[in-house]
Amino acid sequence: MFGWKFLKGLKRLFIHEETAIFIAVSMSAHTSYVVFCCQQLGHNTRILKKNNL
């Protein structure tokens, strides 16, 4: 479902239901925010934006 296997190791996960965009806070200190876009068709999950702080 929505490629949850890619979301393991996350502290927090925020979901914007209307756009199906996931904002995830990674456990890694080098990666603070990872935004996932989960397509309605299939289980493809791709990283749209990755901010390294």
CA 19 from centroid of its chain's CA atoms: 13
**Model confidence over 1-43: pLDDT tens digits?**
344 444 555 555 555 555 555 555 444 544 444 444 444 434 4
Position 5 scores a pLDDT of 45
Q: How far is CA 30 from CA 10, 18, 33, 44, 53, in A?
A: 13, 29, 9, 24, 6
| pTM as predicted | 0.20
- Indicate the number of domains in the chain: 1
What are the phi and psi torsion angles at 31 (to 5°)? -120, 110
Can you give the residue range of the structural domain that contains 34? 4-51
